[in-house]
Structure 1
Amino acid sequence: MTGVVRPAGPGDLAALGRVAYDTAFFGESARRFFPDEALFADLWVRPYLSGGLGFVGLRGGRVVGSILGVTGPAAYRRAWLGAAPTLLSRALAGAYSRLPGCLPYLGRAGLFSLGHAPTSHFPAHLHLNVLEGARGTGLGGRLLDTFLAELGRRGVPGVQLSTTRENVAALALYEKRGFRVWTERERALWRPWLGRNAVHVVMVRRL
């Protein structure tokens, strides 16, 4: 039983933030490298709910997976512009009390970025997350298929994503759905928390 897939909406922020946070460290909790859960959700979930494209996966009425992304760079800019006032107001109100503990990761993320594939051919991008208890049920594949079908319906020519060689199951799923590696490189981003470098991968798929 794969569960139910439906479009994501602003009311899903808390649930999607939890799913993303609980899976961001190679399928485990982001707490090890990013102690502020509220800031994590506002940086990596809220913008997509403000102007992006997304679907949630449910089992037993509970959100256990998500796929979030945008159709292109312009949509991504609009998504961030839509979310920025809320982020700023929450920051000024002191909502991100654990921000200092997140600075090492934020600094390293900028320093060790792998870049992206050409947006002229692959304008869309996506992030797929499934909680541990729902993996192996087919929900991830159904979320991905739904997202790709919607991109095709909108006439988007291609999509890209970033992951690492640590995410073995995710890589297998993407390859099965027709993604190919555009570039990959060993990076030191995760060394403080993983204890070693990780191979970062950018994958692409034409639609």
Structure 2
Amino acid sequence: MTSTKPAITIRGYRPSDRDDLADICVRTAHAGEDATGRYAEPEIFPAIFATPYAELEPELVFVADNGERAIGYILGTADSTRFYADFRDRWLPTVADRFPAPTPPVTGQDDGLRYLLHHAEDMLVPEIAAEYPAHLHIDLLPEGQRQGLGRRLMETFVNALRERGVPALHLSMNPANTNARAFYDRIGFTELPRPAGKKDVDYLGMRL
């Protein structure tokens, strides 16, 4: 008798998903590959790119659930300007002691991540956020890739933004992640002008 795997479902975030979100984030943080062993503190990645969204805007966090655990997620904010203000005022104080700001001069990738945690507002591009106020992050473990889950997660997130009357969203990405770029192109994102001083980052946008 052949056993069948349970269907993967897309559902809203639960507090019990927090550890899975962090694990997925670390295992996809290096241009889509595992950051473990490549950084001194890979656990800083979810402290910047995953957990604050679950804490500050959990209604815009959705996971792909394989019946046992989350194997992927999409998360973000409807208002990037507000989010980064809340990040500094409400989220940073909860993790600042665990990841202290680096002592200047900031050198190397690990110091750079600590700096980014303490200056997350540097990721805000006002001219983009004014026209494309929402932004997102989406990550899937290898076992969840190439099954249409990325598109399902994106449709769920976009529908949630439309229900809130959000006009457009954007994302930033490492140009080295060519697989992710191909996915975004397929689902309707277009390249935005790169702001001055933002080297080695691509910005993509979608109108809703």
State the TM-score, normalizing by the size of structure 1. 0.77
CA deviations over 1:147-189 (Å, ceiling 9, x no partner): 011001100011000113322222222122211000359x998
The residue that corresponds to 2:70 in the other structure is 63
**TM-aligned CA deviation for residue 63 of structure 1:** 1.1
Would you say the 8 A contact 1:48–1:69 is kept in 2? yes
Paired with 1:2 and 1:166, the residues of 2 have a C-alpha distance of 32
Would you say the 8 A contact 2:99–2:114 is kept in 1? no
Paired with 1:117 and 1:11, the residues of 2 have a C-alpha distance of 36
Specify whether residues 113 and 67 from structure 1 end up closer, same or farther in structure 2 by C-alpha distance, changes over 3 A only.
closer
**TM-aligned CA deviation for residue 79 of structure 1:** 4.4
Would you say the 8 A contact 1:33–1:102 is kept in 2? no
Count of paired positions: 189
Secondary structure (helix, strand or coil) at the match of 2:166 reads: coil
Paired with 2:85 and 2:171, the residues of 1 have a C-alpha distance of 17
Specify whether residues 203 and 27 from structure 1 end up closer, same or farther in structure 2 by C-alpha distance, changes over 3 A only.
same
CA RMSD of aligned residues (A): 3.2
1:29-108 map, 5 Å: 29-52=34-57, 53-72=60-79, 73-91=81-99, 102-106=110-114
Secondary structure (helix, strand or coil) at the match of 2:152 reads: helix
Amino acid of the structure 2 residue aligned with 1:77: A
Divergent runs of 4+, >6 A: none
Secondary structure (helix, strand or coil) at the match of 2:193 reads: strand
**TM-aligned CA deviation for residue 9 of structure 1:** 3.5
Would you say the 8 A contact 1:2–1:138 is kept in 2? no
Paired with 1:105 and 1:41, the residues of 2 have a C-alpha distance of 11
Paired with 2:82 and 2:52, the residues of 1 have a C-alpha distance of 13
1:129-144 map, 5 Å: 129-144=139-154
Paired with 2:110 and 2:148, the residues of 1 have a C-alpha distance of 33
**TM-aligned CA deviation for residue 86 of structure 1:** 1.8
Paired with 2:193 and 2:36, the residues of 1 have a C-alpha distance of 28
**TM-aligned CA deviation for residue 130 of structure 1:** 0.5
Paired with 2:156 and 2:15, the residues of 1 have a C-alpha distance of 19
Q: Which moved more, 1:67-76 or 1:151-160?
A: 67-76
Secondary structure (helix, strand or coil) at the match of 2:201 reads: strand
Would you say the 8 A contact 2:133–2:169 is kept in 1? yes
Q: Report which of the two has the higher share of strand.
A: 1
Paired with 2:109 and 2:173, the residues of 1 have a C-alpha distance of 23
Paired with 2:43 and 2:185, the residues of 1 have a C-alpha distance of 33
**TM-aligned CA deviation for residue 14 of structure 1:** 1.0
Would you say the 8 A contact 1:116–1:202 is kept in 2? no
Would you say the 8 A contact 2:74–2:138 is kept in 1? yes
The residue that corresponds to 1:23 in the other structure is 28
Specify whether residues 161 and 188 from structure 1 end up closer, same or farther in structure 2 by C-alpha distance, changes over 3 A only.
closer
Aligned-pair identity in percent equals 29
Secondary structure (helix, strand or coil) at the match of 2:30 reads: coil
**TM-aligned CA deviation for residue 44 of structure 1:** 2.1
State the TM-score, normalizing by the size of structure 2. 0.77
Paired with 1:56 and 1:32, the residues of 2 have a C-alpha distance of 26
Corresponding position: 1:119 with 2:129: yes
